[in-house]
Amino acid sequence: MMLDAEVYAEAPSKDIHTFIGTLTINSPPPPPLSSLTDSNSTTLPPNTSSDFALTRVTSHPNDPPNPSHSSLSLPHPSHSSHSNPSLSNASLTNSLNPTNPTSPTHPIKQQPSTIPLTATNMLWANTVLAAGSAIGLVVYTGPETRAVMNTSHPETKVGLLDLEVNRLAKILCAVTFALSLLLVALNGFRGEWYVYIFRFLILFSSIIPISLRVNLDMGKTVYASQIMSDPEIPNTIVRTSTLPEELGRIEYLLSDKTGTLTQNEMEMRKLHMGTVSYGYDSMDEVTHQLAMAFNALQAQAQGGGAGEQGYGHARQGSMATGMQLASRGRRDMSSRVHDVVLSLALCHNVTPVTNDDGTITYQASSPDEVAIVKWTQSVGLTLIERSRTHITLLTPSSTPSSLTLTQQTNSLKKSSIAHATNTLNFEILELFPFTSESKRMGIIVRDMQSGEIMFLQKGADVVMTKIVQRNDWLEEETGNMAREGLRTLVMARKRLSPSTYASFKSAYHQASILLENRNEAMEKVVEEYLEKELELLGLTGVEDKLQDDVRGTIELLRNAGVKIWMLTGDKVETATCIAVSTKLVARNQYIHQVAKLKTADEVRDQLEFLQNKLDCCLVIDGESLQLCLNLFKLEFIEIATKLSSVVACRCSPTQKADVARLIRSYTKKRVCCIGDGGNDVSMIQAADVGVGIVGKEGKQASLAADFSVTQFSHLTKLLLWHGRNSYRRSAKLAQFVIHRGLIISIMQAVFSAIFYFAPIALYQGWLMAGYATVYTMAPVFSLVLDRDVSEDLALLYPELYKDLVKGRVLSYKTFFMWLMISLYQGAAIMIMSLVLFENEFLNIVAISFTALILNELIMVALEITTWHIYMVISEIVTLCIYMISMAFLPEYFDLTFVLSPRFAWKVAVIVAISAFPLYIIKLIRSRIAPAASSKLI
């Protein structure tokens, strides 16, 4: 197929929500356009990663004909594109023949015609066309595709414990070199002293804890296994196994609201229409009023429309249509209910989908819209079918209570009454999707029965207040609903005459084919022709229920010393209400709201106030937050991090990530971010520890996070129990592995110093190989099973978590304490072995090495707080392995001497001198300065 046309595409960008391009057709193709879908058509390659501009998509068989448009239909909305790496980015043209309003296969006229290409025409990379076929043109390839440009490369997260261990390892390297240099210096730098330095470096290499990394990584694997196998937090997944210790050191928790603190299960709770408000308990009245309105309409239609009988019947029941009552200046209640419910049933992006079992479910990108459409179904106006160009509704008069939605839909299809009086058919003329910038969505529909054209729009009150007609109740009622924790949407309408719509369509088309500032021009046209003096129909309040045990979880985390920030896209009032209901704000705590700041002086005044009132909860909107970050970044973060809780409203995903990075860089504390949606991914990746919740918004956050949970309340167990244990165990394990390497090197240094500073190895071959493996590894590694308190006590007393945040379990102080212990024990064992010297050098090796192994086993036993069965087994099995190995290593052990009584008492004396004083010191410390956890046991 040949087509003389030009396609323009904008420069590559990351934004998948916008695309600017045009298709200019210069001359018609030789064959009819219908042949594009036959054997001569070219379909998309199945395995490519290029961007295509598609020029034809076959229409779905269920799509009704569109008499006013010649656009080639996309697949039916129920066959949505799904993620699959088998399709390329593609651009779909809506119309190839704009000159003919009836036939999509009519030959194109000779004059050039320009058709706009927008984001709605695009098939982005990694999607597959679920139905129909397409012919396309390559737009972007390789690194220019949106998928590749949006592929971020997050930094590999390294735990603070690993960084601390790395610093200690550097100190140990310096100690190794200093000790080698010291022995050579004490020998007077005689002979080839530089060679001796390298020999001593090799002899003291055990000081450098090479096995420490192996032990810590194995410990992390154990911690991850314990987390994922915990029956109280089912379906928890550890995606980054290098960070379990970080869970024990969290000081700041940044949480999303919707879907994280709340269930993201929306339910319509309130409808307000200015003079009357319907609550959840009075929705039956809405059903009744709606049924009365449709009965009146049906009666009027049967009475001849404008005839006296129909009109009189309508007047008698006070149920005339909205168009008739508008002329009176005041409409009755049933017609007002009819208008607002009908508008809510039309103004959305919801698609009814038939499941395999025959049931119908609603699908949409926003759960708010699904909740509202389900509510219109519950009061009698049911969405039964939606295509790209049409919407079909089922009226209350045709919805028997005994029939299910599926049965109603099937009966409609079987009886072929699509245009009967019991259904309402509307043609979709234009659709204006919701964006985070516009905070509203709109739709232009034509009633197929009456031909009336309506522009319907719903959105946030902050933008709709300026668009709707002047009123005295909207602002007050939105505030009231927000204080109840409801998400508010304002519903408005504007009737359009055919001439007005034609003018708008022409101007909108001209704006849509601009190559520069297209979006601004299109928004200006919509604002000029449509978004003026809209009729305010009503205000909806949708409830998002709290997740289970959110209040208890937040209270426990606050008691554990964790400062909680809530970052949400909701309005200030709604976020404040949720903060109070979740106990994020303590009882009687002052809430300081900061919103709509414009100047630096206003920001400075607010910061000065907060500086003098650090016990309050700060609630700040996104605009003011950005102003603070731009003008007084350090001052703001310094004050905000001192507050017990902060609520940031109207936050963009970028702002969430910026806040997380700023807290990390300023405080140097551990920050945990938790969220459930794709807008939380950047925040999760910017945190030290990212936790994703598998929720209604998919698994984007879960897959990008380090830990995946199913409920916010699982954070309690994850942090206060698993995180605490992981950090304590790894800290103890790291110090003991360092001690194990130091003590044998100290023994080597003492031996070399006594024997004229000769670089001669004290232990060789199998003894050195077995020391760090079969002789000590199992008992030392069993420390990963130790715990200082029970699980119930750890959750009952969250204050125990505060001690770990200070990092005192593994610090320079504890490191030098273990260094002194190793120095004392290594020197004591070696000196006592030489004091008890026999006639043969072999006996020194046997006595000192046996004392060393027994000393390590005893030290492990002294460090254990709560014994585990595997700890006992590892101690006994290791001792047995060592005793048996003596018989197989005659070059190191003289069995005659080993089995003699003098060997036993000499070893016992050496071990007692090396280990007993430490036991006494530990006993005294437990009496004088006991640990906080020991007071609870």
List, for residues 784-822, the tens digit of each pLDDT value: 999 989 999 999 999 999 888 888 888 999 999 999 999
Q: Are 395 and 381 in contact (CB under 8 A)?
A: yes
pLDDT class for 533, splitting at 50, 70, 90? confident
Closest CA to 713 of 559, 558, 485, 557: 557
Under 8 Å between Cβ of 658 and 628: no
For residue 303, the model assigns a pLDDT of 64
Q: Is the confidence at residue 900, as pLDDT, over 80? A: yes
pLDDT band at 896 (very low <50, low <70, confident <90, very high): confident
- 917 or 650: which carries more pLDDT confidence? 917
The pLDDT, as a whole number, for residue 333 is 84
The span from the CA of 431 to the CA of 284, in Å, is 32
Average pLDDT over residues 375-382: 91
pLDDT band at 400 (very low <50, low <70, confident <90, very high): very low
What is d(CA 488, CA 580) in angstroms, rounded to the nearest whole number? 18
Instruction: Give 150's pLDDT tier (boundaries 50, 70, 90).
Output: low
- Check whether 569 has a pLDDT greater than 90: no
- Is 894 in the active site? no
Q: Would you state the structure tokens that stand for residue 257, as one six-digit string?
A: 């609201």
Mean pLDDT of 564-575: 84
Contacts 24+ apart (CB under 8 A), 37-40: 37/133, 40/1
Contacts (Cβ under 8 Å, ≥6 apart) of 487: 266, 368, 541, 542, 543, 544, 570, 574
Residue indicated by tokens 């400062």: 563
Q: Is the pLDDT higher at 594 or at 68?
A: 594
Backbone angles phi, psi at 382, to 5 degrees: -110, 130
Work out the mean pLDDT of the chain and round it to a whole number.
Answer: 81
Does 307 score more than 60 pLDDT?
A: no
CA–CA gap between residue 661 and residue 643 (Å, rounded): 18
pLDDT in the model for residue 217: 93
**Confidence tier at 272 by pLDDT (50, 70, 90):** very high
Q: Assess contact for 494 and 533: CB atoms under 8 A.
A: yes
Catalytic residue among 51, 256, 339, 368: 256
Q: What is the DSSP letter of 648?
A: E
DSSP label at residue 109: P
Tokens matching residue 353: 């989908």
CB neighbours of 630 closer than 8 A, spacing ≥ 6? Answer: none
pLDDT at 100 over 70: no
Predicted local distance difference test score (pLDDT) of residue 445 = 95
pLDDT number for residue 44: 43
pLDDT tens for residues 7-64? 888 888 776 667 888 888 887 655 543 333 333 333 344 444 555 545 444 434 344 3
Please report, rounded to a whole number, the percentage of residues in the chain having pLDDT higher than 90. 41
| CB-based contact 827:746 (threshold 8 Å) | yes
**What SS3 class is residue 162?**
helix
Give CA 291 to chain center in angstroms: 43
How far from 362 is each of 353, 445, 541, CA to CA, in Å? 6, 20, 20
Confidence tier at 123 by pLDDT (50, 70, 90) = confident
- DSSP letter, residue 403: S
* Mean pLDDT across 657-675: 92
| pLDDT score recorded for residue 808 | 84
| pLDDT score of 190 | 85
Q: Which of the two residues, 421 and 114, has the higher pLDDT score?
A: 114
In 70-97, which positions are buried (b, 16+ CB within 10 angstroms) versus exposed (e)?
Answer: bbbbbbbbbbebeeeeebbbbbbbbbbb
Using an 8 Å Cβ cutoff, are 811 and 734 in contact? Answer: no
Split at pLDDT 50, 70, 90, the class of 249 is very high
C-alpha to C-alpha distance for 175 and 179, rounded to whole angstroms: 6
Instruction: Give me the pLDDT at residue 920, please.
Output: 93
> Rg of the chain's alpha carbons, rounded to an integer?
37
599-625 pLDDT, tens digit per residue, is: 899 999 999 999 988 889 999 988 899
Q: For 673-689, how does the pLDDT look when each residue is reduced to its tens digit (9 = 90+)?
A: 999 887 888 899 999 99
pLDDT of residue 765: 85
Mean pLDDT of 496-522: 89
Residue-wise pLDDT tens digits, 204-245: 988 888 889 999 999 999 999 999 999 999 999 999 989 999
The token pair that represents 747 in the structure block: 């023994």
Characterize the bridge pairing of strands 127-128 and 82-83. antiparallel
pLDDT number for residue 327: 37
pLDDT (tens digit, 9 = 90+) per residue, 907-918? Answer: 999 999 999 999
Residue whose C-alpha is closest to residue 850's, from 759, 921, 739, 747: 747
pLDDT over threshold 60, residue 146: yes
Token pair 């936790």: residue: 691
Instruction: Locate 609 and state its tokens.
Output: 């106030």
- The answer to whether residue 323 scores a pLDDT higher than 70 is no
Asked whether 464 and 490 are in contact (CB, 8 A), the reply is yes
Q: What is the pLDDT of residue 760?
A: 87
pLDDT tens-digit profile of 449-464? 889 999 999 998 888 9
pTM of the model: 0.71
Dist CA 587 CA 257 (whole Å)? 20
How far is the CA of 799 from the CAs of 322, 680, 930, 937, in angstroms?
63, 29, 16, 15
Q: Round to whole Å and give the CA distance between 390 and 370.
A: 18
Q: Greater confidence, 198 or 10?
A: 198
- Residue 665 is predicted with a pLDDT of 92
pLDDT band at residue 280, thresholds of 50, 70 and 90? confident
**Of 607-616, 867-876, 888-897, which has the strongest mean pLDDT?**
867-876
The model's pLDDT over 420-476, given as tens digits with 9 standing for 90+, comes to 448 899 999 999 988 766 788 999 999 998 899 999 999 988 889 889 988 889 988
Angle at 821 between CA 817 and CA 825, to 5 degrees: 175
**CA nearest 549: which of 233, 231, 270?**
233
Per-residue model confidence as pLDDT tens digits over 677-733: 878 888 999 999 999 998 777 788 899 899 999 999 999 999 999 999 999 999 999
